[in-house]
Amino acid sequence: MDISVVVPLYNEEESLPELAAWIRRVMQENGFSYEIIFVNDGSTDSSWSVVKKLAEADPNIHGISFSRNYGKSPALNNGFRKAQGDVVITMDADLQDSPDEIPSLYKMIMEDGYDLVSGWKKKRYDPLSKTIPTKLFNATARKVSGIKNLHDFNCGLKAYRKNVVKSIEVYGDMHRHIPYLAKNAGFSKIGEKEVHHQARKYGVSKFGLDRFVNGYLDLGTLWFQTKFGIKPMHFFGLLGSLMFLIGFIATVVVIILKIVSMCSVGYNFYLTKSVYFYLALASMVIGTQFFTTGFVGEIIMRNSAERNNYLVGEEF
């Protein structure tokens, strides 16, 4: 099979027939063998009924339905598991992503050799309250991930080589960072294509401003897991040692001041009135806690089934 199109959806009953017909037309015009996988993320409208009717009329359409709303990342992850195409295309169900982009995305994967191609909605039809935070988030994501050539990490329109989606796990809200996940799995040829962004035709956006806060938190989590996921002592141990060293130096200062006080006439130094005393105490306690956290983390990792789970690119 040439292409699997994975479409996560939540309350998009009005747009689904038009989207399915649009994808079908593009596939037939280009002679692609294909499947469309609609993943219903616990919609409260009749979206799932629409998907089932579409599947009855077209054997290329498949569906997955969650019992409740879990989020876009679980929807994509389940769609990736089911996908059988050599190239997997993801797009949103709100008709803001154009299926006309599919042939060129397929070509970039199969002929140009990219592992992943992300869409870039250079001209957007979104309010400033959405575009400005998006620009700030993308700038941070480029810096942290090291993927300098991507302008829009959060674009729903992406193309993947099949082994990419079978090698990564998308969970929580990590769909924003799939290029980073792919890079960490060893798929480094990541490209970008400027794509057409259309104004929403039906309904309203299902995402609020909280997604940007969650995006930053997830980015920090992913960075930490990448750098220190299997070696937590390298982070907590170093931080704990530095804090303990600060506390030790403060303790030496306190002892010296006390000795000077004892040897001097008219100079009284009270330990409990000195800021150095509390600085030394707090720093040494915090340093010990950080070091212990790293030690516990190492014990957990040594007993984890994932400690030696490495993706092998080729083997003879």
CATH code of the region 3-227 = 3.90.550.10
* Confidence bin at 316 (pLDDT 50/70/90): very low
> What is the per-residue pLDDT across 101-127, written as a single tens digit (0 to 9) for each?
999 999 999 999 999 999 988 776 555
Q: Please, what's the b/e burial string for 45-83 (b: 16 or more CB within 10 A of its CB; e: otherwise)?
A: eebbebbeebbeeeebbbbbbbeebbbbbbbbbbbbeeb
Average pLDDT (4-17) is 95
- Whether the per-residue pLDDT at 245 is higher than 60: the answer is yes
Q: What is the largest CA-CA distance in the chain?
A: 99
Compute the distance between CA of residue 199 and CA of residue 196 in angstroms, rounded to an integer.
10
Strand duo 61-65 + 158-161: pairing: unpaired
Give the residue, 230 or 193, on which the prediction is more confident.
193
- Whether the per-residue pLDDT at 282 is higher than 80: the answer is yes
Give the residue, 73 or 228, on which the prediction is more confident.
73
Cβ–Cβ under 8 Å, residues 10 and 71 = no
For the ranges 167-171, 214-218, 227-231, the one whose mean pLDDT is highest? 167-171
Strand duo 116-120 + 190-194: pairing: parallel
- Whether the per-residue pLDDT at 155 is higher than 80: the answer is yes
Phi and psi based region of residue 311 (left: phi greater than 0; alpha: psi -120 to 50; beta: remaining):
beta
CA distances from 300 to 172, 224, 233, 294, 305 (A): 22, 16, 11, 10, 10
Find, among 260, 254, 289, 259, the residue nearest to 272 by Cα: 254
Compute the distance between CA of residue 227 and CA of residue 274 in angstroms, rounded to an integer.
39
